[in-house]
Structures are given as structure tokens and as C-alpha cells.
Amino acid sequence: MIYSDEELRKMGDVNGDGIIDTKDIEIMKVAFGSTPGKPNWNPAYDLNGDGKVDMRDIGTAANNYGKLSTKYYVKRLPSMAGSLIFGTILAVFSR
């Protein structure tokens, strides 16, 4: 199962690199307990949108650990396959 970047962000990919891993959980730990107005507050880390970053948000990221978005695959496509796809897209749009 591959998710869109937007879906994955809501599931815990707070740094937006296309995978939910320890980096995301570390970022959220720094913001733990934050609420709007606090210096470490970032609404992107409040996954359930209840106005604070707590165990429920970090739990969501932990439950989704290892899930990937399309971005993760695009970044890792071999350059040849990448340019082939890019060339195809260009060809379609330049018609």
C-alpha cells in the first residue's frame, strides 16, 4: 500500500520525506506537550488536530511506522527509469 504525500503527512510523516520512521517520531518528541503559541508548536505535528501534541499524535505515527508515500519511490527510482517517465510525461503534455 502506497499513500499520497498528503495522506502520509496526516499519518505521521511530519518531515515530509515520504516515509514514517524514527526521524518523524524524534521531531514530534521535541514538540511533545506543545500547544498553539508555544515556541515548539507546529500544527503539522498535531496529527489529530486537537490543539496539542501528545501521546495520541506520536502513537499515530508509531502505529504507521514504515509506511511510505509515492515520494519515497520517486526519490529512489533509478535515474534512467526516472528520466524515461519524465520524458513520457513531457511528451504527453507537449502534444
Residues that bind Ca ion (CB under 5 A): 13, 15, 17, 24, 46, 48, 50, 57
Minimum CB distance to Ca ion smaller for 51 or for 87: 51
Instruction: Compute the distance between CA of residue 50 and CA of residue 56 in angstroms, rounded to an integer.
Output: 10
Length of the chain: 95
Q: Are 66 and 13 in contact (CB under 8 A)?
A: no
- Decide whether 33 or 87 has the Cβ nearer to Ca ion: 33
Distance CA 94, CA 21 (A): 39
Least gap, CB of 82 to Ca ion (angstroms): 21
| Cβ distance to Ca ion smaller for residue 11 or 24 | 24
